[in-house]
């Protein structure tokens, strides 16, 4: 399996699927990440660019990611970025990694950048239908990003509804927490959703929903085959 996580910002990939990334990498699958705003200039308490890149590399090395593709789209301004540019950037990442399984944000996410990332990704994954020689997509999954996805207050949009649960186990959850710790300024004290206790608790809860020992949940919205 060749996986690609398409996210808006550094740390979204770990928050949404860090334990799954570790599990898949340990099983020998190719795990790659496309960050549309790789430099997040508008982020509060952002470290220097060199330090940010170090944080990204440290986190991805812990989880076993093969490739990191960073864009320079301006964070908190995805709504004014031409949609086509974002779609084409994701298409290039899909082509470069030969991804067959794609994870991205849920479109009801409160964060505006997450919303536009999801919309662009939904278009980009159809590349195999528009261009010959592209490995067909097998599955597209939406993920939940703690402190953002649960704040989808617009009830006019369908909320995140998990229907796919990946058992990751406690070791993978602990690796997710270690990877998050590499990002300066991301973690918060309990009871914040990005606290150690809340993230581990969510994995326990999602596991309990599906009869598993710790799990991450996703919403599978497109799947080809069995």
Q: Where along the chain do its domains lie? A: 2-223
H helices present in 79-166, as ranges = 83-97, 112-124, 127-130
Cβ-contact 198, 192 below 8 angstroms: yes
pLDDT tens profile 123-142: 999 999 999 999 999 999 99
Q: What is the pLDDT of residue 211?
A: 98
- Dihedral of the CA atoms 18, 24, 26, 31 (nearest 10)? -80
pLDDT tens profile 162-210: 999 999 999 999 999 999 999 998 999 999 999 999 999 999 999 999 9
Q: Say which CATH superfamily domain 2-223 falls into.
A: LmbE-like (3.40.50.10320)
pLDDT tens profile 5-50: 999 999 999 999 999 999 999 999 999 999 999 998 888 878 899 9
Specify the 3-state DSSP secondary structure of 28.
coil
Give the pLDDT band (50/70/90) at residue 57: very high
What is the b/e burial string over 19-50, where b = at least 16 CB atoms within 10 angstroms of the residue's CB? bbbbbbbeeebbbbbbbbbbbbeebeebeeee
Look up residue 110 and give its two tokens: 């409160």
Look up residue 44 and give its two tokens: 């509060």
Q: What is the pLDDT of residue 44?
A: 80
Q: What is the pLDDT of residue 43?
A: 83
pTM (2 decimals)?
0.97
């Amino acid at each position: 399996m060749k996986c690609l996580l398409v996210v808006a910002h550094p740390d979204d990939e770990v928050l949404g699927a860090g334990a799954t990334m570790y599990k898949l990498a340990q099983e020998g699958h190719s795990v790659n990440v496309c960050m549309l705003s790789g430099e997040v200039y508008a982020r509060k308490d952002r470290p220097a660019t060199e330090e940010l890149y170090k944080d990204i590399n440290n986190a991805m090395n812990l989880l076993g990611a093969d490739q990191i593709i960073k864009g320079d789209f301006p964070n908190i301004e995805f709504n004014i970025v031409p949609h086509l540019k974002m779609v084409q950037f994701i298409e290039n990442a899909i082509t470069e990694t030969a991804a067959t399984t794609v994870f991205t944000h849920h479109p009801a996410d409160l964060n505006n950048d997450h919303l536009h990332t999801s919309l662009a990704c939904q278009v980009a994954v159809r590349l195999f239908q528009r261009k010959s020689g592209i490995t067909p997509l097998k599955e597209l999954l939406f993920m939940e990003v703690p402190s953002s996805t649960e704040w989808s207050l617009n009830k006019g949009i369908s909320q995140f509804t998990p229907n796919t649960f990946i058992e990751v186990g406690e070791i993978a959850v602990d690796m997710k927490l270690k990877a998050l710790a590499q990002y300066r300024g991301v973690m918060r004290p309990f009871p914040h959703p990005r606290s150690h206790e809340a993230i581990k608790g969510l994995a326990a809860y999602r596991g309990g929903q599906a009869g598993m020992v710790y799990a991450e949940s996703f919403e599978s919205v497109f799947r080809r085959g069995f």
